[in-house]
Amino acid sequence: MALLLHIETSTAVCSVALGKDGDLLALKETKEGMKHATHLTVFIQNILKENNLTPTDLDGVVISMGPGSYTGLRIGVSTAKGICYGANLPLISINTLQAMTKPLLENKEITSLLTNPEKAYYCPMIDARRMEVYTAFFNCKNELAGDISADIIDENSYSKELSEREIIFFGDGSSKCKEVIKSKNGIFLDNVTPSAVGMIELAEIKFQNQEFEDVAYFEPFYLKDFVATTPKKNIFN
């Protein structure tokens, strides 16, 4: 039984939730874009104040660990670590793709689209620019069914898996794949984005099992190394 603060900054969504004993208590969220540096700490301050809480009242802090945006993950993890250090709290990490999948498994409207829900795969996709996505397959129990990978999508992507079962594709990376992946077993969902809400039940289980991260050494799951780019235009001209 725990009161946990959940932080999700792996994509353009900035989301903060309070969870108590595995249930949603409060939520602050925006989809305005990569404005985490200005929004995140304000969301945290407000959600605690509105519920008459301070960081020391929490039992732990939960962070969406990635994969996702390098900058977004750095901001989320550094903020979570600061709260843990300051209030002497444990840190819990949740895989971003698994947290995206969790709410869909309990949505009857979505499961009704499947002819064989127990065999189907759920495939969250996070946009990694161009035709690349961060993705993985999860089964109906939200268990990982293969490796988490950075895939470049073409017309042959997942052809073997699609020949064997229905696959639900979702996330901000799935929209660009919709016109490329052609299969009657491919089901595409719109407007599914990462949210701190999807972390709550998963984090409660980890808390009860005392599955904590080392606050000093924990790093986000970037999946790929950060590559710096230079602007096409010379800003000094």
State the pTM of this model: 0.91
Whether the bond into 67 is cis, omega within 30 of 0: yes
User: Which residues have a Cβ under 8 Å from the Cβ of 145 and sit 6 or more positions away?
Assistant: 121, 136, 137, 138, 139
Q: Which residues of 195-212 are buried (b: 16+ CB within 10 A; e: fewer)?
A: bbbbbbbbbbebbeeeeb
220 CB-near residues (< 8 Å, 6+ apart): 63, 65, 66, 68, 73, 74, 76, 77
Query: Tokens in use for 20?
Result: 């108590």
CATH class of 97-188: alpha beta
pLDDT, one tens digit per residue, over 27-84 is: 999 988 788 999 999 999 999 999 999 999 999 999 999 999 999 999 999 999 999 9
Residue 19 and residue 204 in contact, taking contact as beta carbons nearer than 8 Å: yes
CATH match of 3-96+194-208 with 3.30.420.40: yes
User: Does residue 57 sit in helix, strand or coil?
Assistant: helix
Say how far residue 165 (Cα) sits from the centre of its chain. 24
Each residue's pLDDT tens digit, 144-192: 999 999 999 999 999 999 999 999 999 999 998 998 999 999 999 999 9
Which part of the chain is CATH 3.30.420.40? 3-96+194-208
Confirm if 101 and 72 have CB atoms less than 8 A apart.
Answer: no
